[in-house]
């Protein structure tokens, strides 16, 4: 398989190939929430999040974004948005902007005067926080809905643009095309078109391959938050998963 060099090229190829297939299926065993994003629905969310990062947060290609979220379907969305814009997803405590969940509000709210802080309620359907947020913090559940379902970067990144602190987009996505790297990265043996069951955080460097590799391989991610070990086998079977990470 020949892998395109940028995230946007990979996603466009998957949209042409099979836009209706599931790409991200999310479970939260603590709340019994289930969310499924097809390739098309995922692309729409990425476009909205990209618009949010550029038009509202005023971020540009070459800047950095910290995604401080737990395992959640919004993590792959903001990963995709960052790479669409040409942002570097960083683990630094001094990013140009941050996307956080409720658990990160206290930590990041004090920084809202000096950098964009975008907060996700992590409530079902990506809705707004029930209570007012600290001054200066942007509620993703409010801001994202006004963004269009399509996005074209005015300064699109290349394959050599940093995707993470350590890898370019080419290196990150190219590793997903090699079975030896796949086995080392997620320990799954995922094959083309397979469904990967994972409890890892896709926004963290160790867990990022659990999303990028299914994406490149024309497969999908089944992501479980707050996993109940006694229920994981049932999820694996119900979702027709083919591999675990």
Task: Give 198-214 pLDDT, tens digit per residue.
Answer: 999 999 988 999 999 99
Kindly state the DSSP code that residue 231 receives in the 8-state scheme.
H
Give the structural domain span for 239. 7-244
Any idea how long the chain is?
245
| Mean residue pLDDT across the chain | 93
Which CATH number fits the domain that encloses residue 225?
3.40.50.12780
Number of domains in the chain: 1
- pLDDT for the residue 187: 47
Q: How far apart are alpha carbons 150 and 48 in whole angstroms?
A: 7
Does any domain span residue 2? no
R_g of the chain computed on alpha carbons? 17
Does any domain span residue 1? no
pTM to 2 decimals? Answer: 0.94
Kindly state the DSSP code that residue 144 receives in the 8-state scheme.
G
Q: How far apart are alpha carbons 125 and 121 in whole angstroms?
A: 10
β-pairing, 64-68 vs 88-89, is parallel
pLDDT at 2 over 60: no
Using one digit for the tens of pLDDT, what is the confidence trace for 3-62?
Answer: 568 999 999 999 999 999 999 999 999 999 999 999 999 999 999 999 999 999 999 999
Q: How far apart are alpha carbons 228 and 231 in whole angstroms?
A: 5
Weakest mean pLDDT among 5-9, 148-152, 172-176, 219-223 = 172-176
Q: How far apart are alpha carbons 135 and 68 in whole angstroms?
A: 19
**In 3D, which of 237, 231, 222 has the Cα closest to residue 37?**
222
């Amino acid at each position: 398989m020949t892998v395109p060099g940028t995230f946007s090229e990979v996603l466009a190829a998957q949209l042409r190939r099979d836009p209706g297939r599931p790409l991200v299926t999310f479970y939260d065993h603590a709340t019994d929430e289930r969310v499924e994003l097809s390739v098309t629905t995922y692309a729409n969310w990425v476009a909205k999040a990209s618009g949010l990062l550029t038009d509202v947060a005023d971020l540009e290609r070459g800047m950095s974004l910290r995604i401080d979220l737990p395992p959640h379907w919004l993590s792959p969305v903001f990963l995709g948005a960052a790479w669409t814009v040409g942002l570097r997803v960083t683990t630094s405590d001094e990013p140009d902007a941050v996307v956080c969940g409720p658990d990160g509000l206290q930590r990041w709210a004090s920084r809202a005067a000096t950098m964009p802080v975008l907060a996700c309620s992590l409530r079902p359907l990506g809705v707004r926080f029930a209570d007012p947020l600290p001054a200066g913090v942007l509620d993703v559940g409010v801001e994202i809905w006004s963004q269009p379902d399509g996005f074209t970067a005015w300064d699109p990144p290349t394959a050599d643009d940093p995707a993470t602190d350590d890898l370019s987009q080419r290196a990150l996505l190219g590793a997903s095309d090699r079975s030896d790297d796949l086995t080392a990265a997620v320990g799954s043996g995922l094959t083309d078109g397979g469904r990967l069951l994972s409890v890892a955080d896709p926004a963290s460097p160790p867990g990022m391959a659990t999303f990028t590799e299914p994406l490149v391989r024309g497969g999908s991610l089944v992501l479980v938050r707050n996993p109940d070990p006694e229920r994981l086998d049932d999820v694996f079977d119900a979702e027709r998963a083919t591999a675990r990470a």
